[in-house]
Amino acid sequence: MQPQFLHDMRKEYAKRTLDENDVDRDPVAQFKIWWDEAVRSEIEEVNAMTLATVNEDGMPDARTVLLKVFDHTGFVFFTNYNSRKSQQLTHNPNCCLLFHWKELERQVRIYGLAEQISTQESIEYFNSRPEGSKIGAWASPQSMIVAGKAWLEETFNYYKERFSHGVIAKPPHWGGYRVQPMRFEFWQGRPNRMHDRIQFTQAGEGHWKIERLAP
């Protein structure tokens, strides 16, 4: 295969600016400002975020998950506790979240520590899910090698029949993680690749140091 040169694939960013004197002094509040603008922009799956972790060999790993809750205690997503990402977070809770809202020429990176949320919180969210998603949580041994698609379909149908006449309870191996942030970076695309990058670093409880980074 011949090399695919992508030299001419460029985009000039010029929609907004970001200044360290104008941002909210609280990074969660600043995230909420950008979040609300992204929601109003009707971006598809605005809550999609890349979760980056590290395995036991020091190899980075990343995948897209969905943000379900955020406030000053952290950013919450849900998964199978036996999955590859969960095993990695058990070994090393350091992780990074990345939001890319290309329509607004913005990115947000959040660095922090992940910990499992309470069982009650997980139950409350699980009960709000569609029936098919509930069954899928039981049927899928996430990240494991399986015999094939037919096996997955059979397993799904097994649990669908099992729960056809009763409440679908939360599986014991399923629940949420809360990423407690220690550092934020807000990125706003600008012309000539002179992008705005504002970093918030935790400087004591409730206090954040705000700095500009070179693009």
Cα angle for residues 111, 115, 117 (degrees, 5° grid): 125
Is 102 in a helix, a strand, or coil? Answer: helix
Give yes or no: 193 in active site: yes
Nearest to 32 by CA among 67, 78, 62, 77: 67
Q: Is 26 exposed, middle or buried (0-12, 13-18, 19+ CB in 10 A)?
A: middle
Catalytic residue, from 25, 162, 193, 212: name it: 193
What pairs with residue 109 in β-bridges?
98, 185
Contact 109, 31 (CB under 8 A): no
* Residues with a known catalytic role: 193
